[in-house]
Structures are given as C-alpha cells and as structure tokens.
Amino acid sequence: MVAVLVAACNGEAYLPAQLDSLLAQTGTGCTIHIRDDCSSCSHW
C-alpha cells in the first residue's frame, strides 16, 4: 500500500489530471490525501 500526499495550493487547474494519473497507476493499492494550503482558487 502506498500513501500519496497532494498539496493543492492554487492547483485547481491541475488537480483533475493529477488525480486521474494517480488513479490510473497499477500494481499497488494507494490512499490519496489532499490538503488545501489556503488556496485562493475555487477547488474547495
């Protein structure tokens, strides 16, 4: 099992592609943890 930590500071434009890429990985299970670092974009 792999834990993936994603910092999402003003990353609204990139977050969907990052998650798609992570979820497309094969060969191991993973948990994804996303943290908003006080973003000013509207992703949360």
Number of domains in the chain: 1
Cα dihedral value 16, 19, 42, 13, nearest 10: -40
pLDDT at 33: 93
**Whether pTM exceeds 0.75:** no
What does residue 16 show for φ and ψ, rounded to 5 degrees? -60, -45
pLDDT tens-place string over residues 15-36: 899 999 999 988 888 899 988 7
Structural domain that includes position 14: 2-35
Residue 44 has pLDDT above 80, yes or no: no
pLDDT at 5: 92
Answer yes or no: is 9 within a domain: yes
Answer yes or no: is 41 within a domain: no
Answer yes or no: is 44 within a domain: no
